[in-house]
Chains A and B, each alone.
Chain A
Amino acid sequence: DGGITQSPKYLFRKEGQNVTLSCEQNLNHDAMYWYRQDPGQGLRLIYYSQIVNDFQKGDIAEGYSVSREKKESFPLTVTSAQKNPTAFYLCASSIEVYNEQFFGPGTRLTVL
């Protein structure tokens, strides 16, 4: 089955630690995205990648980093510089950057 997987579903970390969220897709999509969702707010774009070895900052990139070494994978690292890391993180992909996006199941990160 083709789709997007994110792991783990729930993640707990201590304040000051970096943490990496996984996103994998087997849809053969070129573009991938990371969004953050907070209660009562719309999804906000953190980073996106149009193609392998390329990525661009979104609206709220500060305190986050990404890599795109393989077409299938777009991991997101939440660094200790992110002031408010507790949130629900969603990964998405699309055939090309301007096409319909498909979403993964999300990872809920709680920083204690």
Chain B
Amino acid sequence: KNEVEQSPQNLTAQEGEFITINCSYSVGISALHWLQQHPGGGIVSLFMLSSGKKKHGRLIATINIQEKHSSLHITASHPRDSAVYICAARRGGTSYGKLTFGQGTILTVHP
């Protein structure tokens, strides 16, 4: 079992729909990252959070430390949101600072 698991692996939505991508982790963390990878391959950091909730435009990220679970929500989705979304756990303990990545969720938003 991977230390960081994302679901779903593939997600298709119609423009305007509310989207949720989930991330569960089994390791101790100091923070969790959500990243966006566009078809060209470059990666952009969306959020880094260690508790609670963060919001940027139509994107919302939440984390529940006790349940070891994080979610990324996209409100009023748009075709330009189509990308691969990756969660990454920033390790704590003896591996402090190291990132462990989920396998990514491929999101396609149709007009």
The interface of chain A, by Cβ under 8 A from chain B, is: 40-45, 88, 90, 97-98, 100-106, 108
Contacts and interface: CB of A to CB of B under 8 A. Distances in A.
Given A42-B86, A98-B90, A105-B40, 10 more contacts: A42-B2, A42-B100, A43-B88, A97-B97, A98-B97, A101-B45, A102-B45, A103-B43, A103-B45, A108-B41
B4 interface: yes
Contacts of B41: 88, 90, 105-106, 108
Interface residues of B, number: 24
Contacts of A103: 35, 42-45
Contact of B45 (A40, A44, A100): A100
A42 B102 contact: yes
Q: What 7 A-B pairs come out closest when comparing CB atoms?
A: A42-B101, A98-B97, A103-B43, A106-B41, A105-B42, A43-B101, A42-B103
Interface string B34-60: 010000111111001000000000000
B42 A101 contact: no
Contacts of A41: 103
Contacts of B97: 97-98
Interface of B is mostly: strand
B44 A45 contact: no
Contacts of B90: 98
Interface string B73-108: 000000000000010101000001111111110000
Contacts of A101: 45, 99
5 contacts: A40-B103, A101-B99, A102-B45, A103-B43, A104-B42
Contacts of B42: 103-106
A109 B35 CA distance: 22
Nearest to B103: A42
A100 B49 CA distance: 11
Contacts of B100: 42
A76 B52 CA distance: 38
A101 B88 CA distance: 11
B34 to A, nearest CB: 12
Nearest to B91: A98
